[in-house]
Structure 1
């Protein structure tokens, strides 16, 4: 890959690179370019993604295609009620030849980790991901192990299946930068999908168009994206509104504020922009905030968090450029 240096064309080059990654990923997940781009933005923001969606819409396929387009190693962990923390992190095994314990790494020691149906595992197993997702490291038998600096978790859960599931606690939900929904394809895209009879063949057709070097460069651009004072004030006004809305029991925390800013900067890079606009903030607000607010009990069954957030966006004054 190219050895990039900082210049006025960096953000256009970043946009072109993201377009290439999206195009390759879209070979296996048709008509969902915006979801792919949001997933890339979460990666560039060093965050994690929770796909809250029904089975069969292409969550695993999207993740596999994205990992292949960037040349990253990929591991899928199927979460089940009998899954134990050691099945994720790894375990120490006694070696009779050396009379010592040696650590055998679990599947979490990968770059892209798909935690499939994460809400089917017990809270104890779910919590095994917490340290890894927040600190990029794990501790096993008092031994500390660092994970790949590009470690990226994509969790999935089925919002319609309640029997035999353990809802993720707020502390773990907060570890996900974004919650995304793929949804059904439209008719034309599903018509094209009918003729993709061999999924594995299409995965093989995804070409590597980026590298870890490119991802590091893009992450560096995210840090240099400009956030004007009036846009920062706009972000704070949106956050304050979630804390004062009567339907909301628990509004956005300071960590959520920082998550929105970081996601907006990363999404700006995917659009080839070197600044955060109010429109960019609005585009990432639902994916970043929807799983972080808790509604008052009387509203839980009658209204969705996204509806309240859309009302807040409509109410809060947008700053003039």
Structure 2
């Protein structure tokens, strides 16, 4: 199918819808939230996540009836992640940083991207609490509140501010890997920061406020808009292995300067290998202990 798109109209329409939806977050920040959990006690959802996603999808579907949607709360409710096709597809996170939102911590945002033929064409990340509107169109640069932004040119890890999403240490199966990486980076980097919102963290890399962000435990709606924003600001996003980034299976290594990537990927591999070796030794020790008690 050939899709005829007026990207200017798409951008203007979704921008208006995003600004209006942002008022819900701003008005609700200090109010009472009905809190539920999804994949674990650390993964929260409120009535506002669901409400905003419904508003966004309903508005976009009415204006663009042939477009498709991948929304965080829709996927959570159906337990089905749609395939990304060539069709115009809106990828939506109604509230990125829900835990921040629940605690009235002001780093929370709406994140929306339009992907056409698997290319991210539009990216919007809007934090209505701090009045931060990050925007990008493919090939047209990245902006914060209408002012062009550029990523950092720092090319050495020892001079870099690194962002790591430490809350994923709540996942027991990968806790040791994450904490191993934190230990590895904190011993070399200029500093470590945790913001609690993948979309906003990517935007901080885009604006040059930090040099590096890494996380393996993300989804397309966490990163789609931010990936375009950081690339349009002069940075780039890779897989944490250092290879090509996969939007639908995002393991994020985002850098302001691509020269950082080989050093960072090497450090990640070294840290992970150390943890894997520890797991093997621990498993062997546990096996020996089990065997000694069998008699």
TM-score (norm 2): 0.30
TM-score (norm 1): 0.28
Considering fraction of residues, name the structure with more strand. 2
Relative contact order (alpha carbons < 8 A, sep ≥ 6): 1 or 2 greater? 1
